[in-house]
Each structure stands twice: as C-alpha cells, then as structure tokens.
Structure 1
Amino acid sequence: MLVRPRPPVALDRRLRASVHRSRLASRITVSALVVAILLLVVVSGAVGTVDVGVADAARIVVGHLLPGMPWMSDGSLTPLQDQAVWQFRLPRALLAALSGAGLALAGAIMQVIVRNPLAEPYLLGVSSGAGVGAVLVITLGSAAVGGLPLGAAAFAGALVASLAVALTARHRGILSPTRMILSGVALGSLFSAVTSYLTLTTEAQNVFSVLFFLLGSVSAASMSSLAVPAVAFVAACLVVGLRTRAMNALLSGDESATALGVDVNRLRAVLLVTAALLTGSIVSVSGGIGFVGLVVPHVARILVGADHRRMLPVAVLGGAAFLMLADLLSRTVAAPAEVPIGILTAVVGAPFFLWLMRRDTAARAGLDR
C-alpha cells in the first residue's frame, strides 16, 4: 500500500494559512461585489432624462418585485417615472450585468482551453463572426441571411466562427491549443475584413449603426431581450461549475491533467462549445464589447488566486459590476449623447489593469512570466 508522505509541520501550517487567506479574500470580494451590483442597479435606475431620485428608483424596483407596496399607488411616483425605471433603465442595467458576467466567464473558459492569458472571445474569432452576421443584416437586410433578425444573425455568425475554429484546430482527433489560437486569429482577421468591406460599401446612413453595434451598446435592452443570454449564461454556469476541478488540472498541462483522469480533448470541446454559445448569445443583443473577457479573469486571479472554484464567482460578479459601471458612464460622460460602451471598457479598464500588474500581487496570477 502506498503511503503519501506528509509535508513538514511548518510547511503544512503555511499551506493551510494560505488557503484560509484565499477563502477569506474570496468571501469578502464576493460580498463586496454583490453590494456594488445592487447599488449600481439603483443608481442606474435614477440616471436619465426623466428626473428620478435614487430612493424613488429603489422604491419602484421594490414595488414591482413585492406587489402591494403603498408607495406604488399613493401618487408619490408618476407613471412616467415608473415607466422610465422599470421598462427602460432596469432592463438596461440587467443586460449590462448579464453581458459583463457572461463575457468574463467566456474569457476565463477560453484562457483555460488554450492555456494562454491573452485568450478571450475576440482571439478565437467568435465575436468577429457574430459581427459579420449582424453587419450583413444592417447593410444588406435580413434577406441576406435567410430572413433572420439582427440578433439571430449575430448568434448564427458566432456559431459558424466557433465551428470553423474547431474544425481547423482539430489534428488527428485532438483539439490543439496552438492551432486554436492560430485559427482564431486568422478567421478573426478574415471576418473583420468582411465587416470592413460591408461597412465601406454600404449607404452612409448605415455606417453609424454598424459602428455602434461593433463597439457595443445595451441601450436597446428590454425584458424580452434578456431571455436568450440569461438561459445561455445559466447553462454555461452549470457546465463550468461541474468541471472546475478538471479546469484546474488542465492549467498544469495536458499530460498532468490526463494523469489525473481528465479527458482533455473532450473537456476542451465541451468548454469551447459552451464559450461560443455564451459569447454568441451576448453579442447578439449587446454588440461587440471587448476587453471584459481579457482583463476581468486576470483581476479575479490577482484578488483570490487561480483556483477556479473561487476565481470564477469573482470573475462573473466582477464582470457584471464592471460593465454596469461602464454603461452608467456611457450615458453620463457626454450626455445627452451616448458613448459606445466598448470604448469605455477599454479607456477605463486598461489603466486600472496596468496599475494592478505593477503590484506584487500580479505574480500570483502569472502575469509576470
């Protein structure tokens, strides 16, 4: 019988202390992010052309969630205020949260698939494929894609891009991480070229719509538009939640993961399909929002470590809060005009990420290698 050697007492104590600190940091971070998201929902409900206070926005949201609240019928809130918060601002805030959470999760998944810290939905061409589908509808009409509406065309484009990456990256029945990266970059460049050509050859009035979609926006959000990305996000969380240990093993290399009993090729295929469906569903309703899937998972690793059981919840909540804040800024920095949200995710997020990398804690995420 094999007996596993026990670590020295001092080393064992240090390991336990490190694990305890990581768990404590995870709990504190998750709690802080949940509070931040709730506050951002209320503040988002109060920001807009119709004058609504923060307290009134909170009362409207609570009043709809808990029927029978007296302030909903005592005349203290006007129908216009109720409509502005419940039908326009709340769906927008929820879509921003859902998109940020989904893109952060998709980025974390793709970084595991290819074992590359630069991986994100854009790297594998998924977002670019969705952009081609949407731009075809904007420039040529829905007839060009078989009568599909814009959202469905973007989703179909993401699926086509994912399938193309999977087929070209497959070698002797195995999904190669290096081939996936190269295929994604090549296909992404091809899709971007197609998008640029369609934009240059379309009528002038369509150019603004194309650019606004490619840069991302949640301004057209409605409760009905939340359904598809919400279902995709919940499904992705279930798939990933059952595979966090296998994902941890995959980070140590294919050989080590295989030795631990992980079917590496099957795991990569499942994760690729999950990330593609999640990205496609989000891009179809919010456009091409970049940067979130690249940076937020790294920030989560810096804060709580690389263990996916603790890192993924922080990444999901952090992505939601980050994109909600970016959307709030997009409505206010140039009011009454609106700045595409993709611009702000880069302008706000890049300096913050560079500052984090300068700190010693960045070494825990492997950013100094």
Structure 2
Amino acid sequence: MKLNRLAVNLIFMVNGFIYANWIARLPRVQEIYHLNNQALGLVLLFVSMGAISSMPFTGWLIHKNSSRSITLFGAIAFCLLVPGIPLLPEVWQVRILFYLVGVSAGLLDVAMNAQAVLVEQKYQKPIMSSFHALFSVGMMLGAGSGALFAKFNIPLFTHLVCIVGVCLVLILWAARHLIPDAPQAGAAEQGAGFRLPTKAILSVGIIAFCGMTGEGAIADWSSNYMENVAKANEALAPLALAAFSLAMTIGRLFGDRIRESLGDKRLLIYSGCIAFVGLALALAIPAPLMIITGFLVIGLGLATVVPIAYSIAGNAPGLPPGVGLSMVTTVGYAGFLFGPPIIGFLADWQSLRVALLFVVFLFTVMTFLSFRSKF
C-alpha cells in the first residue's frame, strides 16, 4: 500500500510542478505573442474548453481502460505538450495547443483522483488531503523554479524541456506502482458511463467551483498582479504564487486531521471566511509584502475545499469513483479554468484589482452554500 500511495503522490506532485512552471512564466508568454490581458484570457479559455470537454467522459474512459491507464496517458501527454507553448508562430496555433493541454489536464485530474480514492479505500481513513498536499508541493516547487529560470533569463523552451524531462522519469517510476483497476464483469450495468451531476452531488460541485475559481485566479494572475499592480520585479513576482502554494501544502498536510475534528460542514465554512479575508487584504493593500501575505492566507482557506469535495464524490453511494469524480470535477473545474479568462476580460474592462472582486464574491457564495448544505 505504501508504494501505491507514493506513486499517486508523485503523480499529484508532477502535475502541480509542471502547471506552476508554465503559469509562473505567463508574463513571458504575453511578451512572445504580444497579448494583452483580454487576449491572454482568451488563450486560457481554450485550456478550459479542453478540460471541460474531456472531464465528463473520463469516468467512462476509466471504466473502459482503468484509472491507471488514463492517469499515465494524461500525465505523459501533459508533459509532451507543455514545451511547445513558446514555439508556435501564430496565436491561433497557441489556442489549439492550449486546448490539447486542457484535454490532457482534464483526463489526468479525474484519473489521478480516482487512483487517490482507491488508495484511500485501502487505508480505510481520510487521506485525500495528503494527495492534494503533494499537488501543492509541486505548485510551490514549480513556482520557485519558475522564479529561478526567470531570474537567470533562461529561454522559456529550455526551461520547460528541463522540468518535463525530470517529470517524465518520475512518471515512469510511478507507473509500476499505480493500482491496477481493470473493470469487472457487469460494471457496465452499474452506470459507469457518462452522467450529469446528481442533485446530491451538484451542491458539492458548486462549492468546488467557487474554491477552484479562487485557485485558478491565484495561479494564473498572481504574477501579473504582482508585476502590474504592485510593480514587483520579474524575479519577485512568482513568490506570491509560491506563498499561496506553501499555505495550501501546510493546510492539506493537516487537513485530514482537522476534517476529522471539525467535520466537513464547519471546516468548509471556516475555509470560506479565511479565503475571503486573505483576498480582501491583498486587494486593499496592493504592496508586494501584503499581497504575498494575503495569498498565503487564501491558500490556508482553500486548502481543504477540493479534497473534501473529491472525497465525497469518490465515495458517493451507488457510483464508481471515476463517475462520481467526473461529475464534481466537471462542475468544479469549470471554475478553476473558466474563472481566470473571465478575470482577464474584467481586467481589461476595468482593472485587474477590480476584476479580482469577482473572486471575493465567489468566496462569499462558497461560505453561504457550505452553511446551507448537509454533509
């Protein structure tokens, strides 16, 4: 069981590490393709479209091929696609590439969480937050490495090839120890194919939507907010994302214990309030130190929201883990990926500082729904 858990942890970490590396260099992508905030938001929208188009069917693919196979396919495809980001001559080609990146990210997100549910079931206790902690570790390391590559002016393609090469080695090792979960006879009759979210799961998905919009907003716009609003230099800008990822890691490392102590409902209410305070601080005082502090507080608030939602979905009665997860991730990931492009449009219409008030509103909605829901 320990090797199974380690393998899934590595997949989560690799996912966060690669994602944070290219997200931390988005200002450089803007320079290469001469994109304003609205144009960058539109490019990011294609990542959203790719993920959202793949997620609803990932449960069916897992049923047909196993979560192990889909996890490996998604992880390898993600690694191979990302280095092409700075190489394309036309913006429309970048949009197509980002769509494919989104497809691979969507497959990987559902499948690796299905693997995490299988490991959690073997341990027979809540451990979902620990897997997401490793994603946050990857995000933190990725943001830090992104800052280093930017500081030493390493070309973006060289940067991405280096980090992907390391990650592919880790993925190939993990492949030997993921849980083989080939579908059993008769599983098709259990409704393992495509489904719309059930009423019971929809409220969990909406809470995940609000939380993941916050995660996506911080991940995609933190560097821009630091550079363009707080006037931080290029090397300092990624540290806001690093602080957010550090806080997410700490919160998720202790999240399972806190969840057992407080229960899902109380923990989600507290999480929404903490995230609200953190973002309000970063928007009220747009200085580098205050932004880094505010994003750290946001990370503590959001740390356990997604693990709780995924754990509930993966253990929903009458549903295979991959199908329940497909429902919640489709709803929740819409926020994680559609939120940042919306913020891009709002930022060009008003300002990035004003646009992030949209996320403040969603944190309020998340807290209200957590208070009203029954878990």
Normalised to the residue count of structure 1, the TM-score between the two structures is 0.38
Larger radius of gyration: 1
Normalised to the residue count of structure 2, the TM-score between the two structures is 0.38
Q: Larger helix proportion, structure 1 or 2? A: 2
